């Protein structure tokens, strides 16, 4: 069974680590295990409980009241709250439900929640406000410190399939002012973020040319003159030898001149390799891309 450290719990539930510790002490809300070095370790059931707690908090229920509920009462309260949930907290509710379905490998529940979110918001807005934040929370997009838990592979596979189907269903480009060339550099296989970018760009009416995973840099030099893109979009996720990413970004910036190179991915990796070049722009996430478009 997968276990989680408190920082992972903080990211997944949206509850600060300091607050989790206070609740443990004051309300006996959850009871973490301890590693041999005395670090807190949380089980999947404890993650589910905190997700339920966060759902109720988002709907205005006080923590003092939540702490008094038994496990069954907590589950029933969450079900009732989500059925009658306020619209302004709907995104957080869907995200929590997706995480619970992922932890249980419950594909039918995951599909049902996915469908409910797209029906409520439309696929584009659900992508921006539900699916992308969900993947960011559980670490699927930028988690490179350890092999992703198998639940994350499960969720990633479903969302990749949905994104590909949604991209395939979009109408041809209607705006010819921009053309985007999207790819992952050599030894990059983490495609979800790039698919998100492809969907967002295409749904904004622009043409994209999608090259996919692990594309040799020299091949980009051959494609650019042939298709004349106004923008190149590249994602860096995996840790690499110091300076390698900066070197590739400099090379790509020269290849694509005078086009603009949009760089996204692992924020820590990009921060360490950031280069100040006129035609290079760094994107913090999908919200940065939508704002740019």
Give yes or no: residues 147 and 178 share one domain: no
Q: Pseudo-torsion of CA 245, 250, 252, 253, nearest 10°?
A: 140
Q: Which residues contact 237 (CB under 8 A, 6 or more apart)?
A: 141, 142, 144, 188, 190, 193, 265, 266, 269
| CB burial of residue 266 (10 Å; 0-12, 13-18, 19+) | buried
Residue range 197-209, pLDDT digits in tens: 999 999 999 999 9
| Residue 259 scores a pLDDT above 60 | yes
Cα dihedral across residues 198, 182, 265, 147: positive or negative: positive
Q: How many domains does the chain have?
A: 2
Distances (CA, A) of 55 to 49, 52, 118: 10, 5, 20
| Residue 279 scores a pLDDT above 90 | yes
Give yes or no: residues 150 and 29 share one domain: yes
Give yes or no: residues 206 and 238 share one domain: yes
Find the mean pLDDT for residues 242-251.
91
pLDDT at 141: 57
Give yes or no: residues 18 and 144 share one domain: yes
Last residue of a domain, one of 123, 147, 164: 164
Give yes or no: residues 15 and 156 share one domain: yes
Residue range 34-61, pLDDT digits in tens: 877 878 888 888 888 888 888 888 778 8
The CATH code of the domain that includes 200 is 3.40.50.280
Reduced to 3 states, what is the DSSP secondary structure of residue 61? coil
Give yes or no: residues 61 and 192 share one domain: no
Distances (CA, A) of 155 to 43, 107, 134, 159, 229: 19, 9, 10, 6, 32
| CB burial of residue 174 (10 Å; 0-12, 13-18, 19+) | exposed
Give yes or no: residues 176 and 150 share one domain: no
Distance CA 139, CA 31 (A): 24
Give yes or no: residues 140 and 157 share one domain: yes
Mean of per-residue pLDDT scores for the chain:
86
Give yes or no: residues 232 and 133 share one domain: no
The CATH code of the domain that includes 160 is 1.10.1660.10
Residue 106: count of CB within 10 angstroms of its CB: 14
Give yes or no: residues 131 and 97 share one domain: yes
pTM of the model: 0.78
Give yes or no: residues 70 and 112 share one domain: yes
Give yes or no: residues 177 and 109 share one domain: no
pLDDT at 274: 80
Domain span including residue 265? 171-292
């Amino acid at each position: 069974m997968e276990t989680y450290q408190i920082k992972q719990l903080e990211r997944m539930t949206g509850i600060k680590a300091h607050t989790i510790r206070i609740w443990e002490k004051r309300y006996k809300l959850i009871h973490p295990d301890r590693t041999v070095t005395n670090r807190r370790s949380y089980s999947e059931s404890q993650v589910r409980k905190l997700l339920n707690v966060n759902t109720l908090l988002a709907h205005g229920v006080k923590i003092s009241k939540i702490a008094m509920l038994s496990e069954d009462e907590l589950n029933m309260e969450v079900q009732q709250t989500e059925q009658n949930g306020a619209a302004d907290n709907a995104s957080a509710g869907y995200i929590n439900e997706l995480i619970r379905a992922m932890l249980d490998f419950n594909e039918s529940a995951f599909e049902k929640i996915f469908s409910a979110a797209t029906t409520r918001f439309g696929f584009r807005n659900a992508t921006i406000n539900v699916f992308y934040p969900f993947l960011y929370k559980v670490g699927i997009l930028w988690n490179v410190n350890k092999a992703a838990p198998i639940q994350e592979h499960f969720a990633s596979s479903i969302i990749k399939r949905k994104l590909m189907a949604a991209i395939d269903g979009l109408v041809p480009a209607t705006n010819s002012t921009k053309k985007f060339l999207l790819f992952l550099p050599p030894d990059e296989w983490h495609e979800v973020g790039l698919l998100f970018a492809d969907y967002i760009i295409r749904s904004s009416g622009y043409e994209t040319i999608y090259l996919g995973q692990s594309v040799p840099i020299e091949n980009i030099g051959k494609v650019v003159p042939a298709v004349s893109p106004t923008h190149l979009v590249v994602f860096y996720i995996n840790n690499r030898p110091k300076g390698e990413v900066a070197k590739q970004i400099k090379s790509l910036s020269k290849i694509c001149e005078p086009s603009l190179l949009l760089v996204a991915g692992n924020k820590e990796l990009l921060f360490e390799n950031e280069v100040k070049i006129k035609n290079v722009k760094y994107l913090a996430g999908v919200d940065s891309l939508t704002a740019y478009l």
